[in-house]
């Protein structure tokens, strides 16, 4: 079987193949049969048609940052979008068109030149593709909604290898489905987003010794209960240079005076180990947590949602974090709120529109023999959260939980998604994702 295309195609043994098959999660070690690196929509169309004619499964790599590593599959034809990097800002309309291989760090750096921004993920090496298609939680979600709420249109190659447009005006059903439905409906070659004026923000990180965690997280809970839309904050339990720490990371995109005051509310009465808050460029805030997620470590996530951070839940989180199996393991509490929570659930495929906290249990390790104990720790922590009322989870944080978890992550939108999956991809050509099972 030969594959000749107008763009790079790699097989095992070719220079660049090894680097192209590696993804962020070091636990994933899979070998695609072909890696196609398109330059254009036509290249993607050709790759899909070739795979279908040859009976090869297709996987799609955006930024290669997914926890589950489903963007790489053994024996598949991988469409690796990483050469499709164009980013074109239209300052008059305050919009941007970015291709499917762009990462958030690249995206933000370009839109910042125009003092414009939109909601994106908080780690700059994450791809805009997988993140937006699954929803897109980030610092600006309270004010501007999720990344997918800011999507205006998309160019997509469908399961037949044809180019389609999706927007409110064209293929509106498909447009609904790709705002949360992940990679189930096609390969998105370009995303058009709404941007918003943003000169700078207030925020950063404050750190305390872990002994102060109970006080700090209770205070975090109380502040986030009434926080304005412009203020988004995460609480974290981690280890730094061998010392157990508790911290708050935050971003305030509102007016200068109130932003500074509201950011300082997170400080306890006595001085922290470090106060790295202040007025910053948005790109600084968007990369300040990169150190916490180095590529190549082995990772396992469990991220159940809690409606409320009760005192009991906070105590359980601190107790479990105290027995973290490695120094690279951390726990992050994410507050989903504001505009992101107010969009009616049926308006986009992203179904879990409510105010809640995602309890991100992130086990990280570098010695493969630790896998079992790290995974067991994360699972038992998640079970303890479930006993306290935690349920469902964000589809982009799922690993291999399976069909029931995927269904739960869409809430009441799942049935419509399943019907649209059947309409747009009846043969499940796009199967390496949090898969939606089509129904007629
Ligand atoms: C450390 C870390 C931090 C994270 N932070 C955030 C965060 O702040 N906010 C948030 O919302 N999520 C976050 N996530 C989750 C993130 O949204 C997902 O991991 C997402 O899948 C990453 O997108 P990617 O393109 O880099 O992934 P990839 O691994 O390349 O792709 C994952 C899947 O997405 C699909 N896909 C990707 N691109 C395309 C495309 N162009 N067309 C069609 N399908 C495509 C494919 O099905 C693929 O299997 C984080 C994950 C990690 C590991």
* DSSP secondary structure of 172-203: HHHHHHHTTSGGGS-EEEEEEEE-EE-S-EEE
State residue 1's pLDDT score.
61
Q: Interior CA angle at 429 toward 37 and 304, to 5°?
A: 90
What letters, b where the CB count within 10 A reaches 16 and e where it falls short, cover 192-212? bbbbbebebbbbbbbbbebeb
**From 52-56, 217-221, 388-392, the region with the lowest mean pLDDT:** 388-392
User: Reduced to 3 states, what is the DSSP secondary structure of residue 160?
Assistant: coil
Reported as a pLDDT band with limits 50, 70 and 90, residue 2 is low
Please choose, from the candidates 141, 135, 112, 127, the residue with its C-alpha nearest in 3D space to the C-alpha of residue 69: 127
Lining residues, ligand 1, CB within 6 Å: 23-24, 60-67, 70-71, 81, 100, 121-123, 126-127, 129-131, 133-138, 182-183, 187-188, 293, 396, 432-433
Q: Do 130 and 152 meet the contact criterion of CB atoms below 8 Å apart?
A: no
Q: Where are the beta strands (DSSP E) in 143-256?
A: 151-157, 163-167, 187-194, 196-197, 201-209, 231-240, 243-252
Q: Which atom of ligand 1 is nearest to the CA of 23?
A: 29
**Whole-prediction pTM:** 0.97
Determine the residue of 32, 47, 66, 396 to mutate for testing ligand 1's pocket, defined as the one with the most ligand atoms within 8 A of the Cβ atom. Answer: 66
Tell me how far the alpha carbon of residue 356 lies from the centroid of ligand 1, in angstroms.
21
User: Reduced to 3 states, what is the DSSP secondary structure of residue 386?
Assistant: helix
Tell me how far the alpha carbon of residue 172 lies from the centroid of ligand 1, in angstroms.
23
Q: Which atom of ligand 1 is nearest to the CA of 24?
A: 53
State residue 83's pLDDT score.
97
Per-residue pLDDT reduced to its tens digit, 267-317: 999 999 999 999 999 999 999 999 999 999 999 999 999 999 999 999 999
Please choose, from the candidates 365, 311, 374, 361, the residue with its C-alpha nearest in 3D space to the C-alpha of residue 334: 361
Per-residue pLDDT reduced to its tens digit, 337-391: 999 999 999 999 999 999 999 999 999 999 999 999 999 999 999 999 999 999 8
**Ligand 1 atom 53: residue of nearest CA:** 67
User: Reduced to 3 states, what is the DSSP secondary structure of residue 270?
Assistant: coil
In this structure, what is the dihedral angle of CA atoms 319, 323, 325, 328, given to the nearest 10 degrees? 60
Q: What is the mean pLDDT of residues 99-103?
A: 98
State residue 5's pLDDT score.
87
Tell me how far the alpha carbon of residue 62 lies from the centroid of ligand 1, in angstroms.
7
User: Reduced to 3 states, what is the DSSP secondary structure of residue 96?
Assistant: strand
State residue 258's pLDDT score.
87
CA distance 262 to 95: 30
Q: Do 145 and 343 meet the contact criterion of CB atoms below 8 Å apart?
A: yes
Q: What is the mean pLDDT of residues 410-424?
A: 97
Show Cβ contacts of residue 399 under 8 Å, excluding neighbours closer than 6 positions: 67, 68, 300, 301
Q: Which two tokens stand for residue 293?
A: 């997620």
Tell me how far the alpha carbon of residue 82 lies from the centroid of ligand 1, in angstroms.
13
Tell me how far the alpha carbon of residue 105 lies from the centroid of ligand 1, in angstroms.
14
Q: Would the pLDDT of 109 be above 80?
A: yes
CA distance 331 to 360: 6
User: Reduced to 3 states, what is the DSSP secondary structure of residue 88?
Assistant: strand
Tally Cβ neighbours within 10 Å of residue 268. Answer: 12
Q: Where are the beta strands (DSSP E) in 257-390?
A: 274-275, 278-280, 298-302, 304-306, 330-336, 356-365
**Ligand 1 atom 33: residue of nearest CA:** 130
Tell me how far the alpha carbon of residue 46 lies from the centroid of ligand 1, in angstroms.
24
Determine the residue of 62, 69, 106, 161 to mutate for testing ligand 1's pocket, defined as the one with the most ligand atoms within 8 A of the Cβ atom. Answer: 62
Q: Which helix (H) or strand (E) holds 61?
A: strand 58-61
Determine the residue of 71, 120, 141, 155 to mutate for testing ligand 1's pocket, defined as the one with the most ligand atoms within 8 A of the Cβ atom. Answer: 71
Determine the residue of 128, 131, 406 to mutate for testing ligand 1's pocket, defined as the one with the most ligand atoms within 8 A of the Cβ atom. Answer: 131
**Ligand 1 atom 1: residue of nearest CA:** 293
Q: What is the mean pLDDT of residues 325-332?
A: 98
Report the chain's mean pLDDT, rounded to a whole number.
Answer: 96
């Amino acid at each position: 079987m030969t594959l000749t295309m107008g763009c790079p195609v790699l097989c095992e043994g070719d220079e660049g193949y090894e680097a192209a098959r590696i993804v962020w999660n070091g636990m994933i070690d899979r070998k695609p049969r072909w890696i196609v690196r398109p330059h254009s929509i036509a290249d993607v169309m050709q790759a899909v048609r070739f795979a279908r004619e040859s009976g090869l499964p297709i996987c799609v790599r955006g930024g290669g940052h997914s926890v589950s590593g489903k963007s790489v599959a053994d024996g598949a034809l991988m469409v690796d979008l990483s050469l499709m990097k164009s980013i074109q800002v239209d300052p008059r309309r305050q919009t941007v068109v970015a291709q499917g291989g762009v990462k958030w760090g690249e995206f933000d750096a370009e839109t910042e030149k125009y003092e414009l921004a939109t909601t994106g993920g908080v780690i700059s090496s994450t791809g805009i593709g997988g993140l937006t298609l699954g929803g897109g939680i980030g610092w600006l979600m309270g004010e501007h909604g999720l990344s997918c709420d800011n999507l205006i249109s998309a160019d997509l190659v469908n399961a037949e290898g044809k180019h389609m447009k999706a927007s409110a005006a064209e293929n509106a059903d498909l447009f609904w489905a790709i705002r949360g439905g992940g990679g189930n409906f096609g390969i998105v070659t370009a995303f058009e987003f709404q941007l918003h004026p943003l000169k700078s923000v207030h925020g950063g990180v404050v750190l305390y010794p872990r002994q102060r965690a109970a006080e700090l997280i209770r205070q975090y809970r109380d502040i986030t209960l009434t926080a304005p839309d412009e203020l988004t904050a995460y609480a974290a339990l981690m280890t730094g240079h061998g010392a157990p720490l508790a911290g708050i990371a935050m971003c305030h995109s509102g007016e200068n005076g109130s932003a500074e005051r509201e950011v300082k509310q997170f400080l306890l009465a006595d001085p922290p180990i470090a106060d790295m808050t202040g007025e910053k460029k948005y790109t600084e805030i968007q990369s300040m947590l990169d150190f916490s997620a180095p590529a190549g470590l082995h990772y396992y996530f469990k991220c159940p949602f809690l409606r409320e951070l009760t005192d009991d839940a906070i105590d359980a989180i601190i107790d479990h974090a105290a027995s973290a199996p490695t120094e690279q393991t951390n726990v992050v509490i994410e507050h989903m709120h504001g505009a992101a929570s107010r969009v009616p659930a049926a308006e986009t495929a992203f179904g879990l529109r409510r105010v809640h906290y995602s309890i991100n249990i992130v086990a990280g390790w570098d010695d493969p023999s630790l896998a079992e104990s790290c995974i067991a720790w994360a699972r038992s922590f998640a079970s303890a959260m479930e006993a306290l009322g935690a349920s469902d989870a964000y589809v982009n944080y799922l690993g291999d939980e399976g069909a029931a978890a995927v269904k739960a992550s869409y809430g009441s939108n799942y049935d419509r998604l399943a019907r649209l999956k059947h309409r747009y991809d009846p043969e499940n050509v796009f199967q390496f994702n949090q898969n939606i099972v089509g129904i007629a």
